[in-house]
Amino acid sequence: MSSKETNLKEKFRIALNSTAKVISDDIDLNKKNPEDKKTKDIISIELDNLTNPSDFIRLRAESDSRALKKKFSDDLIYKKNLPSNNSSRSLYNIAEKIRYEALGGQMLKGIEKNFRENYSQIINRKRKDKLITKEDVPVTEAFELYMLKNFHKIKLNPLTSSMLNFWEKDFEKSIEKHKEFLINNLEDQNIYASKFSQILEEMDIFQSEEDEKKEEENQDKGQDNPSNDDQNSDNEDNKDENNNQETQATLDADYSIDEFNLDEQLNDVESDEQSSDQIVKKNIDNINLDYKIFTTQFDEITKAENLENIDEIAKLRRNLDQQLVGFQDVITKLANKLQRQLLAKQNRAWEFDLEEGLLDSSKLPRIIMDPYNSLSFKKEKDLDFKDTVVTLLIDNSGSMRGRPITIAAICADILSRTLERCSVKVEILGFTTKNWKGGQSRELWTKSSKPKTPGRLNDLRHIIYKSADAHWRQAKNNLGLMLKEGLLKENIDGEAISWAYNRIKKRKEERKILMVISDGAPVDDSTLSVNSGDFLEKHLKKIVKFIENKSDVEVLAIGIGHDVSRYYKKAIKITDVNELGDVMISQLSSLFENKKKLH
276-300 pLDDT, tens digit per residue, is 455 555 555 555 456 888 998 899 9
Cβ–Cβ under 8 Å, residues 543 and 557: no
* pLDDT at position 540 over 50: yes
402 vs 391: CA distance, rounded Å:
23
Return the axis-axis angle of helices 109-125 and 262-275, rounded to nearest 10°: 140
Q: Which pLDDT score is estimated for 26? A: 60
The reported pTM is: 0.52
Mean pLDDT (the chain) is: 76
484-500 burial: b if 16+ Cβ within 10 Å, else e? beebbbbbbbbbbbbbb
Cβ–Cβ under 8 Å, residues 30 and 43: yes
Q: pLDDT-based confidence at 233, cuts 50/70/90?
A: very low
486 vs 456: CA distance, rounded Å:
21
Torsions phi, psi of 368, nearest 5? -65, -40
Cβ–Cβ under 8 Å, residues 241 and 111: no
State mean pLDDT over 198-209.
71
Q: pLDDT-based confidence at 449, cuts 50/70/90?
A: very high
Q: Which pLDDT score is estimated for 206? A: 56
Q: Which pLDDT score is estimated for 95? A: 93
Q: Which pLDDT score is estimated for 363? A: 66
**In 3-85, which ranges are continuous DSSP H helix?**
3-23, 37-43, 53-72, 75-80
488 vs 506: CA distance, rounded Å:
28
State mean pLDDT over 167-181.
90
Q: Which pLDDT score is estimated for 584? A: 77
* pLDDT at position 69 over 70: yes
Cβ–Cβ under 8 Å, residues 453 and 530: yes
Q: pLDDT-based confidence at 232, cuts 50/70/90?
A: very low
- Residue 381 vs residues 347, 350, 353, 354, 597: alpha-carbon distances, Å: 10, 5, 13, 12, 19
* pLDDT at position 478 over 70: yes
* pLDDT at position 371 over 80: no
Q: pLDDT-based confidence at 377, cuts 50/70/90?
A: low
- Residue 375 vs residues 165, 355, 503, 513: alpha-carbon distances, Å: 79, 8, 46, 41
Cβ–Cβ under 8 Å, residues 5 and 262: yes
- Report which residue type is found at 145: L
What tens digit of pLDDT does each residue of 215-231 get? Answer: 455 555 444 443 444 44
List the chain domain ranges: 3-285, 302-343+384-447+466-593, 347-380
Q: What is the DSSP letter of 360?
A: -
What tens digit of pLDDT does each residue of 18-27 get? Answer: 777 777 766 4
What tens digit of pLDDT does each residue of 549-576 get? Answer: 877 888 988 888 888 888 998 888 887 7
Q: pLDDT-based confidence at 2, cuts 50/70/90?
A: low
Q: pLDDT-based confidence at 536, cuts 50/70/90?
A: very high
CB atoms within 10 A of CB 325: 8
Per the model's pLDDT, the better-predicted residue between 226 and 169 turns out to be: 169
* pLDDT at position 237 over 50: no
Per the model's pLDDT, the better-predicted residue between 425 and 422 turns out to be: 425
Q: Is the dihedral of CA 282, 284, 285, 289 positive or negative?
A: positive
Torsions phi, psi of 3, nearest 5? -65, -30
Q: pLDDT-based confidence at 241, cuts 50/70/90?
A: very low
Per the model's pLDDT, the better-predicted residue between 234 and 419 turns out to be: 419
What tens digit of pLDDT does each residue of 323-370 get? Answer: 767 666 666 676 677 767 665 555 445 566 666 666 666 666 666 666
Q: Please tell me the CATH code under which domain 302-343+384-447+466-593 is placed.
A: 3.40.50.410
CB atoms within 10 A of CB 477: 20
Residue 354: which H helix or E strand, with range? strand 350-354
Q: Which pLDDT score is estimated for 94? A: 93
Range scoring the smallest mean pLDDT among 172-186, 272-286, 451-465, 544-558 = 272-286
Any long-range contacts for 135-140 (C-beta under 8 Å, 24+ apart)?
136/166, 137/163, 137/166, 137/167, 138/236, 139/91, 139/167, 139/205, 140/90, 140/91, 140/94, 140/218, 140/232, 140/233, 140/236
Highest mean pLDDT: which range of 101-115, 234-248, 325-339, 462-476 = 462-476
State mean pLDDT over 385-393.
80
State mean pLDDT over 436-458.
92
Q: pLDDT-based confidence at 490, cuts 50/70/90?
A: very high
Q: Which pLDDT score is estimated for 99? A: 93
Q: Which pLDDT score is estimated for 428? A: 95
State mean pLDDT over 411-426.
82
The percent of residues above 70 in pLDDT, for the chain, comes to 67
Q: Which pLDDT score is estimated for 61? A: 85
- Residue 580 vs residues 43, 240, 333, 408, 558: alpha-carbon distances, Å: 45, 70, 14, 7, 8
55 vs 13: CA distance, rounded Å:
13
Give Cα 453 distance to the centre of its chain: 28
Q: Which pLDDT score is estimated for 590? A: 74
* pLDDT at position 12 over 90: no
230 vs 221: CA distance, rounded Å:
9
State mean pLDDT over 451-472.
91
